């Protein structure tokens, strides 16, 4: 899922300065699962904003709303009827959701309440880790299911650097060395011979470097 983290409160306060009626809009997708932008978080942020603005003598009226997904026109349309009542949307979706909202509603200010941080999963409740960098050319076959692009701090494709120590990365002793994990897995799978295959210079066109990407299912096009 896409992981997000709430922006610092002061930054959010600055964004909504001058707006007296806003909608705090949650998303029922990834950010609900990672506990940053769903129904509950909308209520928490709204409550905080009302209190802070009240305290400053500049009360703000807030419509609290959460839709199924902010990255899907079908659901985005659902808030249209409420728009005349507000003068800004504070979106608690990931960056994709904020973009979709902004593209859909011209003339409406749309602000991000989250920083979209990475694609990953939960180790346990409330603890999320990065696992994919959406490079667009999956190499996990060669690396026993552990991604060196997302998990090696230098995205090295041909093995660990000289800073790998006791299974940890040179940048932080809390960070696993991705190549140690890969080697351990290759060994356990009896695939160590794969390590010595030279991983050729990468084609980064499938990555963001090739410009904004899209994916089209032809059988759904009319």
Partner 1 sequence: MSEEYKSGSKLEKVLRAGQFAVTGECGPPRGADPEVIKKKCALLKDKADAFNITDNQTSVVRMSSIASSVIMMQEGMEPVMQMVCRDRNRIAIQSDILGGAALGVKNMLCLSGDHQKFGDHPQSKNVFDLDSIQLIHTVKKMRDEHKFLGGDEIKGAPKLFIGAAENPFADPFEIRVPRLAKKVAAGVDFIQTQCIFNLPKFEEWMKQVVDRGLHEKVYILGGVTPFKSFGMAKYMANNVPGMDVPEELLKRMKDTPKEKQAEEGINIAVETCFKLKEMKGVAGVHLMAIEWEEKVGEIAQKAGFLPRPQL
Partner 2 sequence: MSEFEPIIVAFCCHYCAYGAADLAGSMRLEYPPNIRVVRLPCTGKVTPVFLLRAFEKGADGVYVAGCLEGDCHFIHGNLVAKPRVNFTKKLIQEVGLEPERLEMFNMSAAMGPKFAEVAREFYDRIKQLGPSPLNKKYHGASAAA
Contact set with partner 2 (CB under 8 A):
9-10, 40, 43-44, 47-48, 50-52, 54-55
At 195 the three-state DSSP class reads helix
Q: How far apart are the first and last CA of the chain?
A: 29
Q: CA-to-CA distance for 151 and 147, rounded, in angstroms?
A: 6
120 binds, among partner 1, partner 2, none (CB under 5 to 8 A by kind): none
Measured from the CB atom, the residue of 104 and 133 that comes closer to partner 1 is 133
**DSSP-assigned beta bridge partners for residue 21:** 61
Give yes or no for a contact between 128 and 34, defined as CB atoms under 8 angstroms apart: yes
158 binds, among partner 1, partner 2, none (CB under 5 to 8 A by kind): partner 1
Contact residues toward partner 1 (CB under 8 A) are 153-167, 170-172, 177, 179-180, 183-184, 192, 195-196, 198-202, 204
Q: CA-to-CA distance for 180 and 134, rounded, in angstroms?
A: 22
Calculate the dihedral angle through the C-alpha atoms of 111, 114, 115, 116, rounding to the nearest 10 degrees.
-100
Measured from the CB atom, the residue of 19 and 154 that comes closer to partner 1 is 154
**DSSP-assigned beta bridge partners for residue 130:** 120
Measured from the CB atom, the residue of 200 and 216 that comes closer to partner 1 is 200
Structure tokens, 9? 């409160």
145 binds, among partner 2, partner 1, none (CB under 5 to 8 A by kind): none
55 binds, among partner 1, partner 2, none (CB under 5 to 8 A by kind): partner 2
Q: Smallest distance, Å, CB 89 to partner 2?
A: 21
Q: Smallest distance, Å, CB 51 to partner 2?
A: 5
Q: CA-to-CA distance for 92 and 27, rounded, in angstroms?
A: 6
Q: Smallest distance, Å, CB 55 to partner 2?
A: 5
Measured from the CB atom, the residue of 10 and 196 that comes closer to partner 2 is 10
For 34-47, give the DSSP string. TTSSSHHHHHHHHH
Q: Smallest distance, Å, CB 44 to partner 2?
A: 5
Q: Smallest distance, Å, CB 113 to partner 2?
A: 13
Q: Smallest distance, Å, CB 31 to partner 2?
A: 16
Residues 6+ apart with CB under 8 A from 38: 26, 27, 28, 31, 32, 66, 92
Measured from the CB atom, the residue of 47 and 158 that comes closer to partner 2 is 47
């Amino acid at each position: 899922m896409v992981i997000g983290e709430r922006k610092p409160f002061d930054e959010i306060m600055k964004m909504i300065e001058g707006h007296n009626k806003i909608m705090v809009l949650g998303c029922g997708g990834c950010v609900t699962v990672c506990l940053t932008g769903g129904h509950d978080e909308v209520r928490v942020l709204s409550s905080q904003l009302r209190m802070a603005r009240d305290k400053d003598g500049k009360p703000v009226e807030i419509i609290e709303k959460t839709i199924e997904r902010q990255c899907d026109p079908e659901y985005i349309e659902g808030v249209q009827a409420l728009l005349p009542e507000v003068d800004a949307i504070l979106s608690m979706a990931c960056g994709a959701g904020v973009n979709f909202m902004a593209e859909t509603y011209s003339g409406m200010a749309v602000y991000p309440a989250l920083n979209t941080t990475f694609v990953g999963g939960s180790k346990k409740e409330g603890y999320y880790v990065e696992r994919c960098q959406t490079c667009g050319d999956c190499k996990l076959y060669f690396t026993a299911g552990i991604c060196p692009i997302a998990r090696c701090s230098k995205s090295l494709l041909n093995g660990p650097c000289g800073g790998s120590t006791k299974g940890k990365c040179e940048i932080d002793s809390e960070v696993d060395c991705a190549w140690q994990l890969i080697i351990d897995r290759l060994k356990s799978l009896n695939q160590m011979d794969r390590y010595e295959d030279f991983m050729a210079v990468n084609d980064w066109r499938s990555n963001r470097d090739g410009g904004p990407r899209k994916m089209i299912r032809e059988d759904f096009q009319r």
